[in-house]
Amino acid sequence: MALRRKRVDRDNHDRWLISYADFITLLFAFFVVMYAISSVNEGKYKVLGTSLGSAFGSSAPKAGESGTIRLTEQEIYFKSIVDRRNAKLAEQQRKQNERMQSLVSALNQAMGKFVKNGLVSVSQTRRGVMLDISASALFAQGEAVIAPAAQKTLADVAKVLAESGQLIEVEGHTDNVPISTPVYPSNWELSSARASSVVRLFIDQGVVATRLTAVGSADNHPVLSNDTAEGRTRNRRVTVTVLAAELERGLAPSQSSTDPAASLSTASEVVQP
């Protein structure tokens, strides 16, 4: 009886070609899909434009003999909305600038003595009106109780702020010299306590509490280097910022509305609920 020879399996070294072919096929399909997505079908866009024109009861804009574009009725309507919104925003901006400038003058007058001595600066920024008060004008070293000499001046400031009706942020700042006392373990507690003291005085003088925010920043926002005594003195301060009111959402007053396409795009945002 003949013995059956055992079958010897040989390794197929070409099996990787199957995986490679699958990978190439998938890669080709991927690029085909990407190309299809990126291609613009002008015919479909023309059909869409014609449908929209029919829905609004007018035809698409046509080029005249002079090459200018004639606006359709709905484009003229949307453009008028954009123009009115721009004019409204420009007027709001003008009135807000007037209010801010008036507030700067009133605060300079209320803090006249401190301003003259270089302990206070009043400026108008993009955020609003900023009143920067040296901590030495308000507090004893390492303390957060407002000095009696500064309470009357801050009370005059509070009367001005009470009439403004805008949000107010009070931020305490220190230098980088560490403090460690039972009351103030670090500069964080000291800066927060100083901001809170000013906020409490404002509330006592009639400023609505919901308009106020107290922030302690320690030594994280210096105006000068802490390497000198002058710089550390400048950095120990309380900043009172009267925040500018946000204008109504829409186009900026300076944005041009002469382009029909831009006008349509913006107007569609304006009329949305």
- The domain segmentation of the chain, as residue ranges, is 89-243
Mean pLDDT across the stretch 265-269? Answer: 38
- Would you say residue 69 has pLDDT above 80? no
CA distance 90 to 209: 31
Q: pLDDT grade, residue 204 (50/70/90)?
A: very high
Of the listed ranges 19-23, 223-227, 246-250, the least confidently predicted one is 246-250
Beta bridge partners of 239: 132, 171
Q: pLDDT grade, residue 91 (50/70/90)?
A: confident
Q: pLDDT grade, residue 43 (50/70/90)?
A: low
Mean pLDDT, the chain, whole residue set: 78
pTM above 0.75, yes or no: no
Question: Is 89-243 CATH 3.30.479.20?
Answer: no
- Would you say residue 59 has pLDDT above 80? no
Please give the structure tokens belonging to residue 259: 């382009």
pLDDT in tens, 246-256: 655 443 333 43
- Would you say residue 77 has pLDDT above 80? no
Nearest Cα neighbor of 247 from 79, 85, 78 is 85
pLDDT in tens, 118-172: 889 898 888 889 999 999 999 999 999 999 989 998 999 999 998 888 899 999 9
CA distance 72 to 81: 14
How many residues are present in the chain?
A: 273
Top mean pLDDT of 1-5, 84-88, 134-138 is at 134-138
Mean pLDDT across the stretch 92-113? Answer: 82
| pLDDT on residue 259 | 44
- Would you say residue 219 has pLDDT above 70? yes
Is 120 within 8 Å of 132 (Cβ atoms)?
yes
Of the listed ranges 8-17, 158-167, 211-220, 244-253, the least confidently predicted one is 244-253
Q: How many CB atoms lie within 10 A of CB 245?
A: 16
